[in-house]
Amino acid sequence: MYRRLQLIVELIARGLALAGGAVLLCLIALTCVSILGRALVPLDIGVGPIRGIYDMTEIGMAAAIFAFLPWAQFTEAHARVDLFQSVMPRTMDQLLDLAFNVGMLVAASVGTWRLYLGMQDKLSFGETTLIAQIPVWQGYAASLVGAVGFILVSAFCVLRAGRRIAGLSD
C-alpha cells in the first residue's frame, strides 16, 4: 500500500515539475520571439515585440515556481541548516526531519488557502493585467494547481518521515 502511494505521489510531483519546465520553455521561446521582434522594428521587418510579454512572463513564472515545489519537497531538496546533523543522534535527526515535514505541510496548506482566497478576490473584482488584459485570477488558478500538489506531497513526506522513525524502510 505504501509503495503504491509513494509511486502516485512521485508521479504527481514529477508531472508537475515537468509541466513547470514546459511553461519555462514556452516563456523562453516567447521572450526570444519578442526580443527578436523588437530588434527588427527599426528595419520594419516582422511584427514587433509581443504585446503583454511581461504579463505572460509574470503569470508563467509564478505557475512554474509553484509547480516545482512538490518535486523539491518529495526529493528533500529544500534548503536546510544541518550544521549539527553529524553530531546528533540518528533519532533526534529523524525527529527534526519529521518536524520539518510537518512545518512544510502547514506552510503549504496555509499558502494554498491564501492563494485560493486571493484567486477568489481577483475573480470577484474582475482584475486584469495592465497590458495584455489577462484576467489575474487565471495566474492564481495556474499556481493553485502546483500548490495543491505541494500539500499532497508534503502530507506524504510527513508519513514517510514517520515511517523512518518507526524503522520502516522506504
For 5, list phi and psi in degrees, rounded to 5: -60, -40
pLDDT of residue 83: 76
Which residues in the chain come in under a pLDDT of 50? none
pLDDT of residue 170: 67
Q: Domain residues of the chain, as ranges?
A: 2-165
| pTM of the shown model | 0.91
Residues 17-28: pLDDT tens digits?
999 999 999 999
Contact 134, 128 (CB under 8 A): yes
Neighbours of 72 (CB within 10 A): 16
Per-chain mean pLDDT for the chain: 93
For 135, list phi and psi in degrees, rounded to 5: -60, 125
pLDDT of residue 84: 76
Q: Crossing angle of helices 136-165/2-40, nearest 10°?
A: 150
pLDDT of residue 80: 75
